Homo-oligomer: A and B are copies of this chain.
């Protein structure tokens, strides 16, 4: 990994309770920063900024550390770890939140350890945009800042989110969030509206249908999803996509368009593993070798055969 750079991520570390039409899991490790870190660590070292409660078990900490995830920015506070409970419809692209207990998240100040302030690659995972802003203010000279968000912040904290968007390089959100943010169902028009909110490139995640990139200079890059036979739990798919995406970028230490396109493919593949199990089950057993093999399959399934480029 010549030139590989570490990634700083701020986000949530949580216990998730999830029900899908086929199975359920209770109090399993989740959170936006967890999925991101466990995906990105395949490509480069990760610095994790998050908060957990005293109830957070040491074997999870050990797992993070064994996977090259630096925990100097992980605060262990009095109280309970953030908990989320949700349910998926048969169409796994649709989910409902049943319960949210912020717990220690309410006292989180997102203070970076001094040695993190020079981080070149930064991912603002889904968390209160107020905390994302605080991280931005502590950074010295970042090379690339990517950001995710969720419906809750679009509805209740849009002004803060808009401040964040003015200062980032790549915004990664779901199709539903893009529609909600713009009140526009058409994805091309929604993208155009969102691009006006800053100078960033935009990646819209389309669940089981792939992802699409829109840049400020009107470049578009669309990829289908890897067709999966067993979707166990979509929770964390977007964070895993972002982890694979940014992990690849940081490992190449490059942000040109070609690298961004390839990074999207890596993100796509890493996310496809993530949803094949609950929590980080699949991500934690993943190796670059396994990712490479599925990536080869994916390229076979999508690559426009060279002859197709000759337009008749």
Binding site for B on A (CB under 8 A): 90-92, 185-189, 206, 208-210, 212, 220-225, 227-231, 258, 261-262, 265, 292, 295-296, 299, 301-305, 307-309, 311-312
Does the CB pair A227–B188 fall under 8 Å? yes
- Copies assembled: 2
Contacts of A304 in B (CB 8 A): 261, 265, 299, 302-304
- Could you tell me if A301 and B227 are in contact, using CB atoms closer than 8 angstroms? no
CB closest chain-B residue, reference A222: B224
In the bound complex, residues from chain B placing their C-beta under 8 Å from that of A230 are: 186
Assess the B295–A188 pair: CB atoms within 8 A. no
B227 with A224: CB separation less than 8 A: no
Pick the residue among B186, B209, B303, B307 that contacts A206 (CB under 8 A). Answer: B209
The answer, among B189, B206, B223, B262, for a CB contact under 8 Å with A229, is B189
Of the residues B90, B222, B295, contact of A227 by C-beta under 8 Å: B222
- The answer to whether A296 touches B308, judged by C-beta atoms less than 8 angstroms apart, is no
Q: Give the Cβ gap from A217 to chain B, nearest Cβ, in Å.
A: 13
Q: List 19 A-B contacts (CB under 8 A).
A: A90-B185, A92-B185, A186-B229, A186-B230, A187-B208, A188-B229, A209-B210, A220-B227, A220-B301, A221-B301, A221-B302, A222-B227, A223-B302, A296-B311, A299-B304, A299-B308, A299-B309, A299-B311, A304-B304
CA distance A303 to B308 in the complex (A): 10
- Asked whether A228 lies within 8 Å of B188 as measured between CB atoms, the reply is yes
Contacts of A309 in B (CB 8 A): 299, 303
Expressed in whole angstroms, the minimum distance between the Cβ of A310 and any Cβ of chain B is 9
Question: Are the C-beta atoms of B305 and A262 separated by less than 8 Å?
Answer: yes
- For residue A261, which residues in chain B have a CB less than 8 angstroms away from its CB? 304-305, 308
